[in-house]
Amino acid sequence: MIRHHPDENLLLEYASGSLARGPSLVVAAHVQMCADCRSHFHTLNNLGGSLLNGSPAQPLQANAFERLMQRINQTPDKVAEKGEDTPIGEQIDQDPVLEHLPRVLYQLLNRNPNRHWKSLTRNLQICRLKSGQNDYEVAFHRLRSGSGLPKHDHRGQEFALVLNGSFSDHRGIYGRGDFVLCEPGQVHKPIATQDMDCLCFSAVAAPVALTGISGLFLNPLISFCPG
């Protein structure tokens, strides 16, 4: 059962198209996986349509059509909100943990044919993806079962979605389909549960900062690759 969801304001931003592309990918994937948020999203969409129908007509700018097409090309596919998982044809390293993903992530993988996993630590792997924007690092993170990440501080917003497995921190337990938002200044130490690896998809606005003495030496080495 999905227990953690985007709040009302975040869903409204997503429904209105005002949410940045990186976070929109995470919210779109969650909406596909979560029947409750999908229903709420459609309610917000219908409300927005009603408000537009009741608004007076406004003159269009000369380049309105070109701007609309550019926005469509940069927006996560709304077909993903039908709520169907799609098996991907090509798996990263033939990894069974990536057999079923929300459709919007399947489409993102298809746009990244040269993707690969990189080991950040003995227990953590990352697969960075290009998503057509320059403000957020968009990536899969795979945390080995039973292992944890070092305690760290967030220097920018992190939007994340658990796709497989689960992890826990001081705030609770997050399982498949759960949405996670970390604000700047929030410190936590995620630990994957023992039964299986934890796979997350995230959009991060800034690199994390390790706390303690180790951070003094390691933080300058932490890479950040928006795109």
Residue range 52-61, pLDDT digits in tens: 444 565 565 6
Q: What is the DSSP code (8-state) at residue 220?
A: G
CATH superfamily label, 115-221: Jelly Rolls (2.60.120.10)
Taking 70 as the pLDDT cut, the residues of the chain under it are 48-98
Domain ranges of the chain: 115-221
| pTM to 2 decimal places | 0.82
Residue reference for tokens 């390293």: 93
Side-chain half-sphere CA neighbours of 33 within 13 A: 26
User: What pLDDT does 79 receive?
Assistant: 43
Work out whether the CA dihedral 173, 176, 178, 182 comes out positive or negative: positive
Could you give the 3-state DSSP secondary structure of residue 137? strand
H helix runs in the chain, sequence order = 8-16, 21-33, 35-53, 64-73, 103-110, 213-218
User: What pLDDT does 212 receive?
Assistant: 78
What are the Cα distances from residue 5, in Å, to 50, 122, 159, 176, 202? 25, 30, 11, 12, 14
